[in-house]
Structure 1
Amino acid sequence: MLMQNSGFDSYQSVDLDAQAASANPHQLVIMLIDGLLDEVVRVKGHIESKRLEAKGKGISKCMNILIGLDSALDVEAGGELAANLHDLYEFCISELFKASSHNKIEHLVTVENVMTNVREGWEGFGQHA
């Protein structure tokens, strides 16, 4: 069973690498948000199953994605939109910290809701760009 998962994980990794290599910056942001949302789902399962080490690693991955998204913002050129995204990313990082500290899924649901809305905004932006 482990070998099957390992092969599938390798396939997913190669597929993701190929997608990232051909993606434009807009598509990369959506891919990062999708990765964040996928990891939030996994973290929920870790909290429910009391797998604290895995939960911590997952929370760390989520925070790193948000930090990466935030660091890519150009606040000067992006103006109010970039400032608002910065605030949302910071809020989500705070919610992830609370989820980790208190093992509360409610904070993860908040992150899911916020980042799903951000993703929808990015999708809409891509259709108009």
Structure 2
Amino acid sequence: MPRPTTLTFTPADLEALGAERYAHPDPRVQQRMEVLWLISQGETQARSGHLAGVSKATVARYVAIFRRHGVAGLKVFQWVKPVGALEAHRVTLEAEFRERPPHTVAEAAERIATLTGVRRKDTQVRVLLKKVSA
């Protein structure tokens, strides 16, 4: 089994971790900074995670981010939010429903299917109608 490598922190890293664990506006970044700061102060990864209230797997992710991208990488989140199939047709559907409002959700679902070729159940159509009417 390979021996784990130790993390090395430059004075600039230590300064940034110490300052941003309290001062950064995003609490998730503060948490990341706190975990790495604790490790830089000699705590084990397991103990750092326990003190910061995160799991071992989360600590491992934070360490991996730090190793690849440094302190700057701890400030970046690359989340992908899924987009529904109807979102591409939203402008067309808004115009259609403002011009001729549907009387029922079933009618709206049929018109959506006719206009876009996308079939959705009543619950999803209701959500779309609320977005369109807002």
Normalised by the length of structure 1, the TM-score is 0.26
Structure with the higher helix share, 1 or 2: 1
Q: Which has the larger radius of gyration?
A: 2
Provide TM-score, normalisation by structure 2. Answer: 0.26
